[in-house]
Structure 1
Amino acid sequence: MVLEGFLSHRAELHRIGITGGLQWLNGSFMENVELLEGRPPNDMDVVTFADVSTAVQAALTPDDIRILTDNPWIKDNFKVDFYLTLLSDHPEALIELAAYWYSMWAHRRSQQWKGFLSVSLDPAFDQQASDLLAVRKQEIQNEQN
């Protein structure tokens, strides 16, 4: 399930020590493609603008780096098409990237206007989201039986 993968990937970011910043969420997961196109979403597109301290960067292991940079592996394991931008990057670069992602995500492929969701990287509500997801999965399983 896409949402479980997203929350699991966030948990890995938090485990590494990345808890500051925000994520922009988009893609077919956010577009209700079940209704619009009659298919389930394959993944969630996520751009992460992260505050990563030099101490966290210095402590990264090869597995941590994979969780941050190996997009095909991330997509296979977490159902997340992941892009990382460091908030410590030069301001002009951040502005250019924000403009790029906005231009990419402001419309559906049909050119219909749409938005995207911005969520904090703060892990404060992630457990609650996971718990709610587990309850909903159980409800769906009960409905199917």
Structure 2
Amino acid sequence: MIPGFNLSGVLPPYIGPSPAAMAGLSPYDTTMNEIAERLGTTSERAAILRGFIALRAKLQSLGIIDGYQWCAGSFCEDIENSEGRSPRDLDVVTFFTRPQRVRESAAWMAFVAANSVTFDAAQTKATFRCDAYFVDATNSLPSIIDQVTYWHGLFGHRRISHMWKGMLRLPIVSDDADALAHLDRVWP
């Protein structure tokens, strides 16, 4: 469920009476269709979401289906009203396990190199309008904890004001076809 924006125009960092209640903490579980319905409110946002859906389709075609994504940044804010501009992209962190065929380190490195349009941040941003980063759950637990801490710290706050804000979380495999159909109906 995506909560409404708070008075500062961001997703709240938690819902309910206390941030100590784990069930009410960001990132909020959602679906691709809910993101499209709630945040695909302009043609610019719809274009960004189409890019995100294309990135997700590419990941799935490569066999990356086990995991989830955090969505954050100005796309997940009421940036049009707070700063008078459209979002430029969608910040995405993908937490995943490697496909079985590329579990070994050498195979994984070759796989990433062969699919740089998906894994290279600059190419991914240009192709999919996503500022995309990846956390490989095959890594050691301390490495994963460091990555989760980093990304939550970076995307859980506004850069300039340091305001605490919420994020969204969705599975890599979701209702993307429904989301795309919604966008095509509303923003053909």
Q: Is the TM value for this pair above 0.5?
A: yes
Is 2:79 the counterpart of 1:33?
yes
Residue 60 of structure 1 deviates from its aligned partner by 3.5
Report how many aligned residue pairs link the two structures.
136
Is 2:180 the counterpart of 1:121?
no
Asked if the contact 1:12–1:67 (Cα under 8 Å) also holds between the matched residues in 2, the reply is no
Secondary structure at the residue paired with 1:25? strand
Question: How far apart, in 1, do the equivalents of 2:55 and 2:185 lie?
Answer: 20
Asked if the contact 1:44–1:79 (Cα under 8 Å) also holds between the matched residues in 2, the reply is yes
Residues 61 and 113 (structure 1), Cα distance of their counterparts in 2 relative to 1, 3 Å cut: closer
Residue 29 of structure 1 deviates from its aligned partner by 0.7
Question: How far apart, in 2, do the equivalents of 1:73 and 1:17 lie?
Answer: 20
Residue 135 of structure 1 deviates from its aligned partner by 1.1
For residues 104-137 of structure 1, give each alpha carbon's deviation from its aligned partner in whole angstroms, at most 9, with x where no partner exists: 1221131222011111111x41111111111110
Residue 3 of structure 1 deviates from its aligned partner by 0.7
Percent sequence identity over aligned pairs? 35
| TM-score with structure 1 setting the length | 0.86
Question: How far apart, in 2, do the equivalents of 1:17 and 1:70 lie?
Answer: 17
- Aligned structure 1 segments of 4 or more residues deviating by more than 2 angstroms: 56-63
Letter in 2 for 1:105: F
Asked if the contact 2:55–2:118 (Cα under 8 Å) also holds between the matched residues in 1, the reply is no
Residue 56 of structure 1 deviates from its aligned partner by 4.5
Please name the residue that 2:150 is paired with.
Answer: 100
Which protein has the bigger helix share?
Answer: 1
Letter in 2 for 1:92: P
Which protein has the bigger strand share?
Answer: 1
Residue 62 of structure 1 deviates from its aligned partner by 5.0
Question: How far apart, in 2, do the equivalents of 1:22 and 1:4 lie?
Answer: 18
RMSD value, Cα: 1.8
| TM-score with structure 2 setting the length | 0.67
Question: How far apart, in 2, do the equivalents of 1:95 and 1:40 lie?
Answer: 33
Residue 54 of structure 1 deviates from its aligned partner by 3.3
Asked if the contact 2:58–2:118 (Cα under 8 Å) also holds between the matched residues in 1, the reply is no
Residue 67 of structure 1 deviates from its aligned partner by 3.2
Question: How far apart, in 1, do the equivalents of 2:130 and 2:69 lie?
Answer: 12
Which of 99, 107, 111 pairs up with 1:60? Answer: 111
Please name the residue that 1:135 is paired with.
Answer: 185
